[in-house]
Amino acid sequence: MRKEGDILGDYRLRHVVSEGRFTRTWEGEQLSMQRIVMIEMLRSKVMRQPGLVDSFISDVRAKATVNHPGIGVVYEVFTNDEDTFFSREKLEGESLESLYQSGSRFSPLEIVVLLGQIADAMWQLKIEEVATVDYELHHFLIASKDEVRVMNLAVEGARDEQIET
């Protein structure tokens, strides 16, 4: 199992941010660029499941095709016998979910500005027919009262119109 300070190629792991069923997400540093990134790594037990590494890499490649200033950027994918991960932009801000839970308030103008940015990003995904998983409030990060960034949830495959981004 990986630990803080481990070096993986061009990346140093800093600390675990979250853990899911299939992945562990780290804050890391891309050494060559001297920038903080997020590293989403397949859990070792998952890597042994047939087809899962290929599916993970296909989804990362789908994310890498997304080009919109409001949607997080994917930098690269890495795989060897021990690790499979991708690095992505670290989005700054607080999620809509945590802002809602804390009772934060926005003026009508701020709401219009933020919703306009979200709609623009979602529309771009729709016109490019990018398949995604369902978006939830924690996928939208408010960097300031007038800027929202959206996590990149693109996946490989055909767009499902039942999933409205």
| pLDDT tens figures, 112-126 | 999 999 999 999 999
Percent helix, strand and coil across the chain, each to the nearest 5: 30, 30, 40
Task: Give Rg (Cα) of the chain.
Answer: 17
| pLDDT tens figures, 82-102 | 999 999 999 999 999 999 999
How far is residue 13's CA from residue 61's CA, in Å, rounded to a whole number? 22
**Two tokens, residue 77:** 């994918």
**Two tokens, residue 159:** 């767009």
In a 3-state reduction of DSSP, which class is residue 78?
Answer: strand
Split at pLDDT 50, 70, 90, the class of 4 is very high
Taking residues 44-48, report their average pLDDT.
88
165, pLDDT greater than 80? no
Domains within the chain, CATH numbers bracketed: 7-89 (3.30.200.20), 94-150 (no CATH)
**pTM for this prediction:** 0.90
In a 3-state reduction of DSSP, which class is residue 71?
Answer: strand
